[in-house]
Each structure stands twice: as structure tokens, then as C-alpha cells.
Chains A and B, each alone.
Chain A
Amino acid sequence: MSLAWVLTLGALLFSLGIYGVLARRNAVLVLMGIELMLNAVNVNLIAFDAWIRQGNATGQIFALFIITVAAAEVGVGLAIVLLVFRRRETINVDEVNLLKW
């Protein structure tokens, strides 16, 4: 399979992620957008790793790192969302805007 196809898939996933982060109001969906972006990066890494065929699998190992960090990130993120919801009874990101001028 050509590298271009896989990279296109990565780019599409990344764009979906950006859309989620920038346009969705629900904080959980924003977090899911971030996950999509991270996975788009993973797809790219794996694709390049297979393409280069270096033998030491750096790209795959890096993808594993990203999965781990993403898990930690979403854990912290959901905890924050939960606390925001307990306090303000909303998880709409545009209503959580106290930190401004």
C-alpha cells in the first residue's frame, strides 16, 4: 500500500480532531477531538516507520509512548471536566471563561 494513502488517512483524522477541538462546545467531545489528533500522529508515525524499514521500530515505540501519555492526559482531562461539572453544572467550554481580563 502506498504511503500517501496512509498519510491521507492521518490528515483526515487530524482535521476531524481539529474540528472537534475548535467547534464542539461539550468538553468531553473536545477531549475526544484531542484524542483523534493524537491518533492521527500515531498513524503517521507507524506509516513512516513501515516505509523507512529501519529495523529498530523507533516509530512504533514512539507511538506506544504517545498512547501512554494520551491515556494519562485524558485521565487528568476527564477529572477536570468532572470537577467543573460538579461546581458549575455545565461542561460547555464557552461557559467556563472566568480566567480573563
Chain B
Amino acid sequence: MVAVLLAHEEAHATAQAAGFFAGNAWLIPALPFVAVGVIVFFGKRFRGKGAEVGIAATSISWLLSVIILVTRYVGGGGPVVLRSVRWFPLGRDLGLGLGMRLDGLTSIMFVVVTTVSLLVQIYSLGYMHGDRRYTWYYAALNIFTGSMLNLVIADNLMQLLIGWELVGICSYLLIGHWWEEKPNSDAAIKAFITTKTGDIPFLIGVFVLFAAARTFNITEIIHQVEDGNLSHVTLTAAAILLFGGAIGKSAQFPLHVWLPDAMAGPTPVSALIHAATMVTAGVFLVARLFPVFEASPQALNEVALIGAFTMLLAALLAMVQDDIKRVLAYSTVSQLAYMMAALGVGAGNAGIFHLFTHAWFKALLFLGAGSVIHAVHSNNMSEMGGLRKFMPHTYRTFLIGSVALAGIPPLAGFWSKDEILTEAFRVGARTIPAHGSPVVGSIVYGVGIVTAFLTAFYMSRAVHLTFQGEYRGHGRPHESPATMTGPLWVLAGLSLVAGFAGFPGWQKGFGAWVGVGGETRVPEAHLLLIAVSVVVALAGIGLGRALYARVPARDPLLRLGWFHTLLVNKYYLDEFYMRGIVRPIRDRVSAAIGTRKGGGILRYLQSGDVQRYAAALFAGVAILAFLFTKF
């Protein structure tokens, strides 16, 4: 079942045989980088201050992505296109390449990234109008887009890692876009350092795989895994270490704490980076190296359990937030956990399907929230309310996004979430073979149902507090311009129909040709399971309506008592990290190794006298020259 897609060489098309567009798919990540150069050097001379350059480049990338997706689909999935050039040699027989691996997973990610990026850039024309670093903002968005596309096309782990780190830097730059205010730059630093904590095991994992397989090339690594060349211990260690990177990037417990703070950035950035694309890189990584994970039940179980734990944890936090963006941020953490849990129970296609549908409705919700924030100049739902009358387009699209997220058929979120739950249930019931443990499947299903209820509840709460009742803020809110409502409607349309791509029982549906890890099983639907999840979702919406339809003077969740306090304080995790980890390391460990004292002495080396620096440089060269002639 696993090795169908990768029946080694014969399944791989050469670049010539693949047709012009698939053969030159590297243009898709390259174009945004070209745009960056133009924007940085000439952006301010354009009439649109560089925005049109970014939008033009992303449009072409988007068009190419759609053409590739459609031709691949019409061709019934098509072969994996591999193409690479040697970048530089390492030692005698190793080398680093720059290459592309174009398969179903890559082409679907291309469409997700370029579509959301394009819509966000158009939306930003209105949202960021008159910003003090408008041109730079578009340059950064395009660096991000190019890096993310490079991440998904990469055919080797080093190239993937380069894209991975570049998107992290772009995330840092854009969270801190308004760095003059201290909380924003603090949030940027927190996001960077927290994800970096996960990147350390990731890097070690890459080298573990390299040491065992003697290559960075993803296709070759997968071949070796399937041929059974790598030991179980190696694969388990590699998978768990790699998953560390995914935990950081995709904001899973215990490294989820950065994502809510990342909301300090401009809202379109949150929609692009912290909802639809960058945070899904962790999920993508697990899917890309799925055979490595499948080879180790322990690693798969870990992925599933972390996912199950995180989805519940984050959904509970989303219930008590007042900041509308934080509701959505915790919701994103929770939904990413769904994807992780799906991968963990072996349902790779269901996980990527959820990534696909989630990208549309979560980007929609963020952009809708941005539209609201643009109108009322506050993030707090306590200062909103009654916006239905003032902002009809935003209201309708936000409602579509919320219902899609809550999982009401026939909107997008229902199909993907239900596929995950069905697969988890079937793994638990042992009706399909699983690489992980069936018990874990049952746990994922149970937690998933509870989370589905909470999801419906917190979205219902958010919609009621924001759009229903009376307006509680200042001034008179107004509907946003067409550059903002246009992208909202496009995303709303996608949120309505995207779910049908994975219609259960459809032979040529989503999973059949994305084929994560070579898996092409057609999803099935079970009416009883569908009924359960729909009832649960409706119950959540109903409860939200009952509690928040008339805005209560006192939040009814306060009745939860100490549990409410625990949630408001985010389980005290930030305090724990500060007192338990950051301060001990900063104060005691650094005092023990004498960082401050040593630095105090060494800094006098930096005298400011250029001639002294030059003398040191020449002395160094002279010593090296002496050594070279001697040995």
C-alpha cells in the first residue's frame, strides 16, 4: 500500500517528459524573489509604492500553480517530477543540490500558498494603506512567499531547512512590523526563539537521517526507508527529532505559546503566515517525510498524542479570550493539532485535506477580523457588537468562515474534520490497518469530538459578541473598501466549495491523488459518525447562542470558577517558562560560566581603531600562510 507511488525510477518523469509547466515549476518560488529585488531597489518609484510588483509576481506564480494542479489532476495524478542542479560539492562524493520534487502534495501546497498570498497582498492595499513601511512590508511578504514555496518544492532536506528558516525570519520581521511599540518587538523575539527551540532537534534529526542514509535527498531517503535499509532505532530517533521542529513551527504543545503573541503583527500577516501557510509547515514536514514516521509506531503515536492533547488545550483557551485575533490564534493551534493527530493515526491524506480547507476559512476569518479591527480600532470583542448592521459584507463572510470552522455541512471544514474523525474512529475500531496503536486512534476520536464541540462554541461566542447585539465601541464603524471585502468573498466562496474536493467515496478525490506517503485509499463516510459530529457542532453553536445572544453583563464562563482563572492565565505556562527556564538559565547558568565577566574583559578588544583591526587581520593571514607553506 505504501510503496505504490514510489515504485522507484519508472514513476519519475524527467523534466522534459513532464511538460513545460511542471518541468519549470521552480519558477513559482523564484518569481516572488525577483519581485523582492525590484521592490527593495525601485519599489518607492512605482506609483503603487512597490505593491503592484509583488502582486504581479505572485499572480504569475498563482497562475502557474493552478495550471500545474489542473494538468496534474486531468492527468490522473501524474508522475513525480524530479529535477535538480548541483549547488556545491561536499567532500569527495557528497553534494548539495537545489532541486524540485513536484508531486501531489507540492502542487496542492503551491495553490494554497500562492492563493492566500495573492489575496492577502490585495487585501493589504486597503489595510496597510499609508503605513510608514508600506514598501518594505510588500518586500517582506514576497520574501515570505518565495521562501514558503521553496520549502514545499525542496527535494532535499537542506533546501527545505533553508526555506524553513527563511519563513521563520519573515515571521519575525512581520510580527515586529510595528516594532516601535515594545510589546510587538517582544512578541517577535518570543516567536523567533520559541520556534528556534524546536529547530534544534529538527536540525539534529536531519543529520541523524543524513548519517544513516548518506544523503539529504528526500526521494532517496524515502527509497531507503522503504527498502528497509535504515534501522528502526535510527528512524524512531530521526522522526521524533524532526517532529520537534514541527512542534515549534506548527505551534503544538509545549511550544504553542508563541502563536497567540504573534498576533501583534498586522492582521493580513496573521492570515497569511500564522493561519494558512507558515504554521502548516510542520504538518507539511511530517507529511513530506511520512514514510519515515510510518516506519516507527512510537513516533506516530507521539505525533497523534501531542496532536490530541494540543487540540483540546488550545480550544479551551480560545473560549475565554476577549481579543478576537487571539480566539482565532488558539483556534489555529487547535486545528493544526487536528492535522497532526490525523497524520499520527496514519491518515496523512485527511490531515493534508484539513490543511487545505483550513487555509481558506481561517485566512477568511483572520481577514474578516482585520476588517472589523480596521473599522472599530480595537482588537477587543468587548468593544465590538452589533457590527452586522454596519459591515454587512464582513458579517456574511465571517459567518461563512465560522460555520465552516464549526464543521456544519456542506461547508469546507465539515468534510475534512469529519474525514479525520472517521479515520481515527476506524483506526480505533481496527477496521483499517494502522501503523500506530489503535488505542491512540480512539483517543484522537474522543478528544476530536470534544474539541469539535468547543470549536463550534467559541466561534459562536465570537460571532455573537462581534456582530450581534448593540455596538459598544467608539465612533461609527464603516464597511471596509472593496480591496478588502473582495478577498473576503473569494475566500468565502472557497470555504463553501473546497470541501467537495474530498467528497467521501469519490475515486478521483483529494486524497487519491495527493497521496501522502503513497497512500491512495478513498475516504469513506459513516452516517452515524457524521450525525454525531453534526449534532455536536450544532450543540456547540446552540450553547454559544444561548449564552451570548444577549450580551451578558457578566461572562457566563466565570461560573467555571478556578478553571476559568486557569484558562485566563493560559495554564500559567508563560510564567512557568519565565521562572522555570528562562530566568534560571539567564541568571544562574550564565553566572556560572561567567558570561558577563568574560564579556566585560573581551569587549576591550573592540577598540574602534581600524588600523588595529587591520593589523590583526594581516597577522592572521601571515600565520595562515606560514602554516600552509609549512604543512
Contact = CB atoms under 8 A, between A and B. Distances in A.
Answer yes or no: do A and B interact: yes
Interface of A: 18, 21-23, 30, 93-94, 96-101
Nearest to B618: A18
B608 A100 contact: yes
Contact of B611 (A22, A98, A100, A101): A22
Contacts of B607: 97, 100-101
A74 to B, nearest CB: 16
Contacts of B608: 97-101
A23 B611 CA distance: 8
Interface of B: 603-604, 606-611, 614-615, 618
A18 B614 CA distance: 9
Contacts of B615: 22
B458 to A, nearest CB: 52
A22 B614 contact: yes
A101 B605 CA distance: 8
17 contacts: A18-B618, A21-B611, A22-B611, A22-B615, A23-B611, A30-B611, A94-B609, A94-B611, A97-B609, A98-B608, A99-B608, A100-B607, A100-B608, A101-B604, A101-B606, A101-B607, A101-B608
Nearest to B599: A101
Contacts of B618: 18, 22
A81 to B, nearest CB: 12
A93 B611 CA distance: 8
B474 to A, nearest CB: 48
Contacts of B614: 21-22
Nearest to B622: A18
A96 B611 CA distance: 11
Nearest to A34: B614
A93 B610 contact: yes
Contacts of A18: 618
Given A23-B611, A94-B611, A96-B610, 11 more contacts: A21-B611, A22-B611, A22-B614, A93-B610, A93-B611, A94-B609, A97-B607, A100-B607, A100-B609, A101-B607, A101-B608
B621 to A, nearest CB: 10
A18 to B, nearest CB: 6
Contacts of A100: 606-609
Nearest to B600: A101
A28 to B, nearest CB: 14
A88 B603 CA distance: 25
A99 B612 CA distance: 13
Contacts of A23: 611
Contacts of A94: 609, 611
Which of B603, B604, B614, B615 has the most A CB atoms < 10 Å from its CB? Answer: B614
B76 to A, nearest CB: 53
Nearest to B604: A101
Contacts of A96: 610
Which of A23, A30, A93, A100 has the most B CB atoms < 10 Å from its CB? Answer: A100
A101 B603 CA distance: 6
B368 to A, nearest CB: 48
B624 to A, nearest CB: 15
Nearest to A33: B614
Contacts of B606: 100-101
Contacts of A30: 611
A35 B630 CA distance: 30
B483 to A, nearest CB: 42
Nearest to B610: A93
Contacts of A99: 608
B608 to A, nearest CB: 3
